[in-house]
């Protein structure tokens, strides 16, 4: 099994929204805000190569939205999904599976692209199976008013219309070494891939731990639908991770790709940080 970090660009979100009840005097040391209180974040995806499977976990914001939409999120940096795939010798058409942790626009926007004639949308990965789960798909396609702005129908419905959508269940394996863990605090039935490489166990954290700064239990995003559930899920998963020597892979941390964990008398803490490429 081979793992590759795929960079889909950077974007900005409000610091207060990203850190919830944590005072700015604390979180601003972790991810300094600009004059508009916006912090910069990564759209970091993961490519898993195993046998004849090439699985892309999440795919960033994409590029099909209009200038007004992107003006809210201050896209920046030189990375794109296509460039990052090419860097590792791959193309969108090589992807066999697109695994979507959840259907918020910054995680699935690259799933769909404009047709050449701009007459409509089509899947960006024409040879791939797209994976979600029934509970989250229902939640995303019939969204509540608070979360509706994060679920864009143009990112979601063309996947189903193409016939490329399949559902997976909690704790089911996509293939040997790639299993799924559902969590419910951030949004309904978000899926966290747990990848066993043989030597290592790696948890793709999605928005449960969007950055290493979110490892402390109270550091929970204001975006979360059920913050107390997030608190419980973080507690359980951190204990399991430190027990099993699981490494965390961060989707949104601008600077840190992975970290190890350590058990202290004050609970589980982030320990060493390192790029994915350093894992041997």
pLDDT of amino acid 265: 93
Contacts of 126 (CB under 8 A, 6+ apart): 92, 93
**How many C-alpha atoms does 96 have within 13 Å on its Cβ side?**
10
The residue with tokens 């040879």 is 127
Strand partners, 201: 196, 246
Range of the structural domain that residue 241 is part of:
2-278
pLDDT digits (tens, 9 = 90+) for 84-106: 999 999 999 999 999 999 999 99
Q: How far apart are CA 74 and CA 106, in angstroms?
A: 13
> Given pLDDT bands bounded at 50, 70 and 90, which one contains residue 249?
very high
Averaged pLDDT of the chain: 96
C-alpha to C-alpha distance for 211 and 95, rounded to whole angstroms: 26
Which of 269, 246, 272 has the alpha carbon at shortest distance from 259? Answer: 272
Q: How big, in percent rounded to 5, are the helix, strand and coil portions of the chain?
A: 30, 30, 40
Task: Compute CA distances 26 → 30, 167, 265, whole Å.
Answer: 7, 40, 22
Q: Where residue 171 sits, what CATH number does that domain have?
A: 3.60.15.10
What is the CB neighbour count within 10 angstroms for residue 74? Answer: 14
Say what the pLDDT of residue 280 is. Answer: 76
> Residue 234 pLDDT more than 90?
yes
Number of domains in the chain: 1
Interatomic CA distance for residues 79 and 251, integer angstroms: 14
Q: pTM of the prediction?
A: 0.96
**pLDDT cut 90: percent of the chain above it:** 97
pLDDT of residue 119: 87
Mean pLDDT of 21-44: 97
- For the segment 215-239, the average pLDDT, to the nearest whole number, is 98
């Amino acid at each position: 099994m081979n793992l590759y970090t795929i960079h889909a660009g950077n974007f900005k979100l409000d610091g207060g929204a990203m850190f919830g009840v944590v005072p700015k005097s604390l979180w601003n040391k972790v991810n300094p805000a600009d004059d508009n209180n916006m912090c910069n974040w990564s759209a970091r995806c993961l490519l898993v190569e195993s046998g004849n499977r090439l699985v892309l976990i999440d795919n960033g914001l994409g590029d099909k939205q209009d200038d007004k939409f992107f003006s809210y999120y201050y896209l920046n940096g030189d990375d794109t999904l296509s460039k990052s795939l090419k860097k590792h010798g791959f193309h969108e058409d090589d992807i066999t599976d697109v695994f979507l942790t959840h259907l918020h626009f910054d995680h699935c926007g690259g799933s769909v692209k404009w047709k050449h004639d701009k007459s409509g949308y089509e899947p960006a990965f024409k040879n791939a199976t797209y994976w979600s789960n029934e509970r989250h798909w229902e939640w995303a396609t019939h969204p509540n008013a608070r979360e509706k702005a994060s679920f864009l129908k143009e990112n979601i419905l063309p996947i189903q219309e193409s016939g490329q959508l399949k559902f997976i269940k909690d704790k089911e394996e996509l293939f040997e070494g790639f299993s799924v863990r559902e969590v419910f605090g951030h949004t309904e039935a978000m899926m966290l891939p747990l990848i066993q490489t043989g030597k290592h166990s790696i948890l793709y954290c999605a928005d449960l731990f969007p950055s290493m700064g979110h490892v402390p239990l109270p550091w929970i995003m204001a975006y979360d639908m059920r913050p107390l559930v997030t608190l419980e899920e973080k507690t359980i998963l951190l204990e399991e991770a430190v027990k099993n020597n699981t490494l965390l892979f961060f989707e949104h941390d601008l600077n840190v790709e992975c970290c190890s964990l350590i058990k202290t008398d004050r609970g589980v803490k982030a320990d060493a940080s390192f790029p994915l490429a350093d894992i041997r």
